Structure 1
Amino acid sequence: MQFKKKLLVFPTSRVIRELISKQKSENTLLPSTLTIDEFFKKSITLSNLKYCEEEQRVLFLNEAIKNIDIKKLGISDNFTKFLKQSDYIYRFFLELSSEKVEISQIQDVDTYDFYLEHLQILQSIKTNYINILENNNYVDRINIDNHYKINQDFLQKFNEIELNFEGYFTKIEFDMIIKISELIDFKIIFYSNSYNQKSLEVFKDLDLEIKLDYKYKLDLTNKKILEEIPIIDRLEFLETKGFSSRLNQIAYIKSSIQICINKGINPSNIALVLPDESFASYIELFDDENYFNYAMGKSIRNTNLYQIANAIYLYLSESEIKNISNLEFLRIDKKVIDEKIKYLWNKVISKENFLFVTDFIKSKELNVELIQKYDELLYKLNIILFSRQNNILLKDVYKIFLQKLVKITLDDVNSGKITVLGLLETRAMEFDAVIICDFNESFIPKISIKDKFLSTKLKQLSNLPTQFDRENLQKYYYKRLVNSSKNVFISYVNSDINQISRFANELFEKRIITDINDNFYKHILYDNHKISHFEQDIIEKIDLTKFIWSATSFKIFLQCRRKFYLQYILKIKEHTISLKPKAYELGEIIHSILEDFYTLNDNFDDLNFEKIEQLFTKYQSKNPFLILDLEIWKKKLYDFYLLDKERLKNRKIIALEKNFDCLFNGIKIKGVIDRIDKYEENYELIDYKTSSTLSVDTLKNYEKSDDFQLEFYYIAMNQFFQTNKIKAYYYNLNETSLIEEEVLNEKLDLLSLKFDEIKEISKGEISFSKCEDKSNCIYCSYKIICNRE
């Protein structure tokens, strides 16, 4: 005789894992367990019909709307847009079918015919959709009531079923349960509070008195109450805090965890609940301590696989420069895309073509778990797309593929002990401490998309769940979660456009104080040291004649002695976490590209711009702000290439990045000359400039100049080659022009006088004062020290 046992049914697999984990240490057989979704699937059979998966459903719905003007519903018939909007239609049909309500019944209660046209359109779509399902031997939740039978073979394995009910039974689901309870002893455990009375209406025909704030165990087979236990509120500690921004809540979350640990709470019994699960990506960024594990899994958006798949879609949808650059950045062979995929984009898909595209995307991914889940997705899509004739274009298939791909998540293994989960994952769970963030009106209760087509009043008259009913169900989940936890920490955003959820005043007896608490916690996320500005004069005896001057250090000394002191005497290094590139970074890359270009091309008659393009790949920056700049400069350097190739027909480059170290007026100077050309008997020194604001001194203003770079170069060349036949040029790469230093001799005389001044002030104490012209401070790295923000 076969041994029968009890089957336990729970709302989520997480509850089952917790139950099994607790029983592993006990000397007992583990119980048979299922989630409620698995239980319903196993408890029925579908008479050899195939269950319609989501991907196939979209195709069937798209077929069902043909020749129907769905724009009157506010829904586009464009396939790409319909992909996103089809869910509105399906959820509406699903709600009606689940509650056994026909569209004709809604029309009967719509006495003023406000929704007549919409309902007629929806009826036509529903009729078409069900016909398509039936004709193709498919069933889904829309028409399941007409086809399912109770699976007695499965149920006979058990002598009793005990279901932990947390939520809402549709009429179809409860009908299934009633039929099952007639075949096997069926118990239901549930909680009753003020927010789930609508859900408990399914028991009203049992003629049982169900009181508020009690836990019940019902014998559904014999229609009697087995247990009636008052709900005990476990809550011992409650705290609510408001913050000016969402991110600042993360500091409070970390602080709450520390409080819990100090109380001796096991980290595994602490939960962080996210009303908006997308906030997990921000939590992850700040999880330096590795506190958290993510019940919803980790997004694949930043993986090679998804990045490549999305980049191909963006490029084939719109081949603008940013999408082409994205292909290059991800090292995707654009030639393969253009020659093997692009011409198929607007053609009907074939299995071979789809396989080629998906294999190409997979080729650069190394994560074994992701590849496995990717292959599972492709297996499903292949069955749906190619098991029957589908005249669907590659671009439309690709959109379905991309929508499904982004939903893949990777299991969060080897991570922290504190669980991060969404509201529905908390059902039937108990924690010693719960932290709930984003307790705002915009997230709690969450707005449903099921109310698109009908008003609340009409749904009420039609015996359909209303928005109010769904909001109450969410409130039930929160109340159960809070009352079953000992410690609760609530955070919310308090700003001009955000406010704490009104539900907070219902849920918590304690009065909510709406202060903003950012300053009490921000030190947790940010090293926020108080800055003491140094206002005293700096006067020291330093012999600047012993200093080896570069054109840059000399310019800084002339502009601001305080900056010179901080940078070159104290050697305080600049520190920043900004992604924005420094002013010199772009220039350094361009200088390196041009140096390599001319070094690699000994034969200047054979200059080739393709080599410049290759060098841009070599010096490719990971800084997102520089990627676009470098693409722009790649175009600009083509004009430079043409001009310079013409110049070099009668000139010769004799030096690149030439270092020098020499004396001028008794003071050492140093530097690097970008380039030296020789033209007949003359030497031309060249300084590359990428700045868009290049200005050159003239006879009218040179006496106020602080830029002597070309003069430094001239002095070095004069000593190298023992000649005065030297011309100095700025090569304006931004505008592709050569600009000669007009006042070279005058500035050399001025430089000599400046060096005389250095000799003179070095005899005594030097005041390293702040500059008078505060325009120099705008981009200065030391402006905070000087209190010139």
Structure 2
Amino acid sequence: MQTKQELIVFPTSRAIREYILINKQNNSLLPFFLTADEFFKKSFYFDNRKLIDEEQKFLFLKEAIKFDEFKNLGISSNFTQFLKQSDYIFRFFTEITSEKVSINDIKNVDTYEFYEEHLEVLKKVKYNYEQILENNGYIDRVNEHKYSKLNKEFLDKFSHIQFNFEGYFTKVEFDKIRQISKNTNLIINLYTNEYNKKSYEIFENINLKLEEDFFYSLDISNKKILKKQKLDKKLDSFTIKGFASRVTQIAYIKTAIAESIKKAIEPSNIVLILPDENFANRLRLFDDEGYFNYAMGLDVKNSYTYKILYTISSYISEKNLKNSDAINFFDINKEFMEFINNNYNKKITKEGFEYICECLILWENNKELKEKLNELFYKLNNLFFTYKSEILYKELIRVLLQRVSSISLDDVNSGKITVMGLLESRAINFDTVIICDFNETYIPKASLKDKFLSTKVKEFAKLPTLKDRENLQKYYYKRLIQNCKNLYVSYVSNDSSTISRFASELFELKAEQSLQDNSYKHILYNKNSLKHFDKQIVKQIDLSKLTWSATSLKTYLQCKRKFYLQYILRLKEHEITLKPKGYELGDIIHKILYEYYESSFDSFERLEALFTKYANKNPFLTLELEVWKKRIKDFYINEQQRVSKIQILHKEMPFNLTYQDIKIKGVIDRVDKDNENFLVIDYKTSSSLKVDTLKNYVKSSDFQLEFYYIALQNIYKTSDIQSYYYDLNSAKLLKEVALNEKLDLLREIFQDLKTKSVDFEKCEDKATCNFCFYKTICNR
């Protein structure tokens, strides 16, 4: 006869691995291990019923919501939206079933009838869903209690069962525990503190009264306490630090690791707890030493498949330059993109779905991800084509992106220090515990289960409340703290982040600490100070040999140092964004007016259409161009009155000539003729346009209209020329009243350019530097 084994149940498979690792040196037969979830699944069976999978659950629920009142719940019935939001409903149904609470029970305690309409809808959804399960022979959490039977054949294999309890038993789970204990000797090991009172009070149902801050070993079968041990504090050292930057916490984490190693702590006995597991992505960027292994696996967002789907999804949403460039950057198959472009607004077909899946599998090189993609595509194939979905290809891409983003890959190149989320740390002891991001944003962690009901109603209905969930999180954190020798905690403190309210309860906090970024950031970043160029620049150069535009002359007169950097060294501004520069709006409006007058001055509708055309070409300027579309109306009205009296001779007329032995160049926006007078016009979109007067022209640096005047005089050999700024904001022509005086001043300036040596000094007026892209070099 085969000897019966001991069965030990742990909350997670990670806890099982840690237990085996610690006990592998023992020269004895290892017991049988299961996680709590596996234990409950194997301990019960269901006669002639199939356990439902996630995809089938969704299909049945989609069928169950087919009634008009469902829209009152505020959840979209659209296929892709419902795919995201259906989890709210499943969690609600699971919770009330697990706690043996009916929707009628909730309605009875909802004395103010705040939720009556929603509860009626949910009651109907639940009834429909259960009927569909019944008709198709499936089991889900909502109906398993009707068919659940104890699996004695499985339980009889074990001499006794040790259940390491960390967390909370629902009423249904505790009923199962009692059933199991009647068949097989069942021992539950648990810890108590002030935060899990609701969890251990359930044992009073079998006359076992427990106290706070003890370890208990309970014989559930015989309803007696086998062991009661007072919990000792093991903590030798505790440090908590605040940082303004979230990333600087990584330097603190590395310091904590180094200090622990110096204390002779084994790296495998150090754990980093991430309240927000996405922080692992940033951590990996700075893990040059290869310290870490990631219990949550590696983020799939760095994979080629995810990047491809993200790029295509972005391109479908907005076909702008950035997304088009991304398509080219990833060199996405042209045939594939043609298929997407031709079909993205059409309903999916089985053939089209399979084509997309085959391409994604073909392009992916990671073997593990290929396997997981094949599994995902198989499930989605059943989901989409068992149910007659109305899903479009563009929605399919979003669904694929959503589902692929939830895949995690095994961390095969692992370090010795474990990185994990809070729940994964249950029933595991570490000598050093490091917790980062101890912020209100992440601790306590929000739950989807509180979507439909208020805390008060849940309390009256005897459902777990928000406070119960928060207390459970505090329990997990306190268990971590109780079992470690060294504790390091960090949090972020800035305009958008504050330390969690849990901190004052869990830790012995001293007075408010100063932020520690400057003490740690050198660990991540080299201390390279920016060196500014302050030396005098004197060059032997004859500026009269250069070709000048009005813009380059204005730069020279405002700041000789900027002129040297821009026009002599030709240092260009670093392009770090696709967003337009300040001058680009004016350039586009100049192009629109040129194109408008190039055909003829006709309807305002054609002028408006040109604004729409250019807005589509440059989506970053859509809002500004829409504003200008309205603003240009006054200009159009003013031009209607002028255009019959004048002749438009030139538009965007280039010139290149010699004046005072110096070459000048430019492009005149417009030349009109009014009787015998030539009118030089320069369009201006700036709202702060100022025209020089006879009082202030001496300080002027803008000689654009003077350049235009000289060019036109050179072409037409006449002095009957008037120069105007066309202020497009006010739709008014503003005359250059100091034209002759500024021409005299320009001649003097050109004489000064005829020199052999120039001191390219910085400007005195620092207001000029505000929008200069060389101000960093000049330390302004």
Category of TM-score, reference length = shorter chain: 0.7 to 0.9
SS at structure 1 position matched to 2:369: helix
Residues 8-43 of structure 1: per-residue CA shift (max 9 Å, x gap): 111111112222223344444333212111222222
The alpha-carbon deviation at position 508 of structure 1 amounts to 1.6
Partner of 1:410: 409
The alpha-carbon deviation at position 65 of structure 1 amounts to 0.7
Residues 242-285 of structure 1: per-residue CA shift (max 9 Å, x gap): 23343343333333333333433333322221212222223233
Q: After superposition, where does 1:42-57 map in structure 2 within 5 Å?
A: 42-57=42-57
> Does 1:9 pair with 2:9?
yes
Distance 1:531 1:323, change over 3 A: closer
Residues 668-693 of structure 1: per-residue CA shift (max 9 Å, x gap): xxxxxxxxxxxxxxxxxxxxxxxx99
Partner of 1:32: 32
Partner of 2:391: 393
> Does 1:140 pair with 2:153?
no
Question: 1-side partners of 2:357 and 2:264: how far apart?
Answer: 51
Question: 2-side partners of 1:148 and 1:408: how far apart?
Answer: 32
Partner of 2:357: 358
Partner of 1:509: 508
Question: 2-side partners of 1:248 and 1:627: how far apart?
Answer: 38
Partner of 2:656: none
Give the counterpart letter for 2:425 in structure 1: T
Is the contact between residue 276 and residue 422 of structure 1 (CA under 8 Å) also seen in structure 2?
yes
Question: 2-side partners of 1:269 and 1:628: how far apart?
Answer: 53
Q: What 5-or-longer segments of structure 2 have no aligned partner?
A: 585-616, 621-660, 662-684, 687-696, 704-743
Residues 440-489 of structure 1: per-residue CA shift (max 9 Å, x gap): 22322122221222222222222211111111111100111112111212
The alpha-carbon deviation at position 169 of structure 1 amounts to 1.0
Partner of 2:116: 116
Distance 1:442 1:97, change over 3 A: same
Question: 1-side partners of 2:578 and 2:525: how far apart?
Answer: 19
Q: After superposition, where does 1:680-759 map in structure 2 within 5 Å?
A: 757=755, 759=756
> Does 1:377 pair with 2:369?
no
Distance 1:780 1:257, change over 3 A: farther
Give the counterpart letter for 2:435 in structure 1: I
Partner of 2:457: 458
The alpha-carbon deviation at position 558 of structure 1 amounts to 8.9
Residues 346-378 of structure 1: per-residue CA shift (max 9 Å, x gap): 43x554432222112223222222111111222
The alpha-carbon deviation at position 582 of structure 1 amounts to 13
Give the counterpart letter for 1:491 in structure 2: S
Distance 1:402 1:147, change over 3 A: farther
Question: 1-side partners of 2:476 and 2:92: how far apart?
Answer: 24
Question: Identity of counterpart residues, as a percentage?
Answer: 50
Partner of 1:443: 442
Partner of 2:208: 208
Is the contact between residue 12 and residue 36 of structure 2 (CA under 8 Å) also seen in structure 1?
yes
Question: 2-side partners of 1:184 and 1:314: how far apart?
Answer: 57
The alpha-carbon deviation at position 141 of structure 1 amounts to 1.3
Q: After superposition, where does 1:336-735 map in structure 2 within 5 Å?
A: 336-339=336-339, 342-343=342-343, 346-347=346-347, 350-386=349-385, 388=386, 390-395=388-393, 399-511=398-510, 513-529=512-528, 538=535
SS at structure 1 position matched to 2:287: coil
Stretch moving more, 188-197 or 33-42: 33-42
Residues 81-121 of structure 1: per-residue CA shift (max 9 Å, x gap): 22222222111111011111111222233344333222211
> Does 1:125 pair with 2:117?
no
Is the contact between residue 439 and residue 492 of structure 2 (CA under 8 Å) also seen in structure 1?
yes
SS at structure 1 position matched to 2:448: coil
Partner of 1:300: 300
The alpha-carbon deviation at position 544 of structure 1 amounts to 6.5
Distance 1:582 1:162, change over 3 A: same
Partner of 2:101: 101
Stretch moving more, 16-25 or 320-329: 320-329
Give the counterpart letter for 1:444 in structure 2: I
Question: 2-side partners of 1:218 and 1:340: how far apart?
Answer: 61
Is the contact between residue 251 and residue 522 of structure 1 (CA under 8 Å) also seen in structure 2?
yes
Distance 1:493 1:344, change over 3 A: closer
Question: 2-side partners of 1:577 and 1:216: how far apart?
Answer: 65
The alpha-carbon deviation at position 130 of structure 1 amounts to 0.8
Partner of 2:64: 64
Distance 1:574 1:35, change over 3 A: farther
Query: What TM-score do you get using the length of structure 1 for normalisation?
Result: 0.71
SS at structure 2 position matched to 1:271: strand
> Does 1:287 pair with 2:287?
yes
Distance 1:541 1:178, change over 3 A: closer
Distance 1:558 1:173, change over 3 A: same
> Does 1:263 pair with 2:255?
no
Distance 1:141 1:427, change over 3 A: same
Question: 2-side partners of 1:369 and 1:551: how far apart?
Answer: 63
Query: What TM-score do you get using the length of structure 2 for normalisation?
Result: 0.72
Distance 1:53 1:341, change over 3 A: farther
SS at structure 1 position matched to 2:301: coil
SS at structure 2 position matched to 1:163: strand
Question: 1-side partners of 2:483 and 2:3: how far apart?
Answer: 36
SS at structure 2 position matched to 1:435: strand
Residues 578-604 of structure 1: per-residue CA shift (max 9 Å, x gap): 678999xx9xxxxxxxxxxxxxxxxxx
Residues 718-747 of structure 1: per-residue CA shift (max 9 Å, x gap): xxxxxxxxxxxxxxxxxxxxxxxxxxxx9x
Distance 1:767 1:292, change over 3 A: same
SS at structure 2 position matched to 1:277: coil
Question: 1-side partners of 2:69 and 2:701: how far apart?
Answer: 73
Give the counterpart letter for 1:261 in structure 2: I
The alpha-carbon deviation at position 198 of structure 1 amounts to 0.5
Partner of 1:597: none
Give the counterpart letter for 2:97 in structure 1: S
Is the contact between residue 79 and residue 391 of structure 2 (CA under 8 Å) also seen in structure 1?
no
Q: After superposition, where does 1:18-29 map in structure 2 within 5 Å?
A: 18-29=18-29
Is the contact between residue 80 and residue 391 of structure 2 (CA under 8 Å) also seen in structure 1?
no
Distance 1:457 1:771, change over 3 A: closer
Is the contact between residue 316 and residue 344 of structure 2 (CA under 8 Å) also seen in structure 1?
no
Partner of 2:193: 193
Is the contact between residue 55 and residue 400 of structure 1 (CA under 8 Å) also seen in structure 2?
no
Question: 1-side partners of 2:548 and 2:261: how far apart?
Answer: 58
Give the counterpart letter for 2:272 in structure 1: L
Distance 1:126 1:512, change over 3 A: farther
Distance 1:94 1:341, change over 3 A: farther
SS at structure 2 position matched to 1:520: helix
The alpha-carbon deviation at position 777 of structure 1 amounts to 4.5
Distance 1:541 1:439, change over 3 A: closer
Is the contact between residue 271 and residue 419 of structure 1 (CA under 8 Å) also seen in structure 2?
yes
Question: 2-side partners of 1:133 and 1:534: how far apart?
Answer: 76
Distance 1:263 1:119, change over 3 A: same
Is the contact between residue 8 and residue 31 of structure 1 (CA under 8 Å) also seen in structure 2?
yes
Is the contact between residue 297 and residue 408 of structure 2 (CA under 8 Å) also seen in structure 1?
yes
Give the counterpart letter for 2:442 in structure 1: F
Is the contact between residue 159 and residue 184 of structure 2 (CA under 8 Å) also seen in structure 1?
yes
Question: 2-side partners of 1:568 and 1:346: how far apart?
Answer: 54
SS at structure 1 position matched to 2:228: strand
SS at structure 2 position matched to 1:189: strand
Question: 2-side partners of 1:249 and 1:505: how far apart?
Answer: 20
Partner of 1:685: none
Give the counterpart letter for 2:305 in structure 1: L
